[in-house]
Amino acid sequence: MGFETIRLEVEGAVATLTVDRPKALNALNSKALEELLAAVTQVHQQSGVRVLLVTGAGEKAFVAGADIAQMANYSAEEALAFSRAGHKVMAALEALPFPTIAAVNGFALGGGCELALACDLIYASEKAKFGLPEVTLAVIPGFGGTQRLARRTGLSRAKELVYTGEMIDASKAKEYHLVLEVLPVDKLLGHCREVAGKIASRGPLAVTKAKTVIAQGWDLDLAAGNELESQAFGSLFATADQKEGMQAFLEKRAAAFKGL
């Protein structure tokens, strides 16, 4: 499938999705949201992909936000439809059965911060900036920021960032538990690809189960979450990969997982 606003590349078990509107600082307009949803759907259906890496084109921005030029004259009904389109993208990203990694190389503001928040892991360059500045435009985050940010940073910090609309640098984002690591600009993608490669080398069914259990158990009480874990743990012993993994360990060799 050809795209105008994004690039999708697959190398081995790792797919890379790049928002490619550098002249607009990779801002998300309706076309970009449409293509992001199509790309995520395509990756979901593509066999062999075990990790998705998400980043932005150019040196300045991951995604600088939703496209204000497009939104400025929206009616309430049009704004609702735009918000729902953004939510569909973020939900599709979260629903992928394999892990996703955001490589935040520059500005991740508004919709860009929300795109990163929809990924499992977030790594940032030293030049990255994060924020949900919507209140400075007299609106609020519309692609999940009011919900996902608190799940990363805690409720009080999320309220502070949303209420003030202030932008924070990468080191502050790490302090707030929004970012896992801060890397030099020229090391960011290499680090993310190294993490992606490590994940891709593990038992894919086990990684998928782990992602599912963590996501579903998050809102459960501890006993219910632990039961969910036990059920998943047991089910994996019916897979060929489990047999291969444990036999390889006993034989002191690298496992050859097939996702079976």
- Active site (catalytic) residues: 114, 134
Q: Output b/e per residue, 112-136; b: 16+ Cβ within 10 A.
A: bbbbbbbbbbbbbbebbbbbbbbee
Phi/psi zone of residue 181: left (φ > 0), alpha (ψ -120 to 50 degrees), beta? beta
* Residue 120 identity: D
Residues contacting residue 49 through CB under 8 Å, at least 6 positions apart: 10, 13, 14, 15, 43, 98
| Backbone phi and psi for residue 187, each to the nearest 5 degrees, phi listed first | -105, -10
* Cβ contacts of 226-229, under 8 Å, gap ≥ 24: none
* Residue 19 identity: V
> 64, 107 in Cβ contact below 8 A?
yes
How many Cβ atoms from other residues are within 10 Å of residue 97's Cβ? 14
C-alpha–C-alpha distance, residues 59 and 102, integer Å: 15
* Residue 35 identity: E
| Helix, strand or coil, per DSSP, at residue 111 | helix
For the record, the structure tokens of 4 come out as: 């105008």
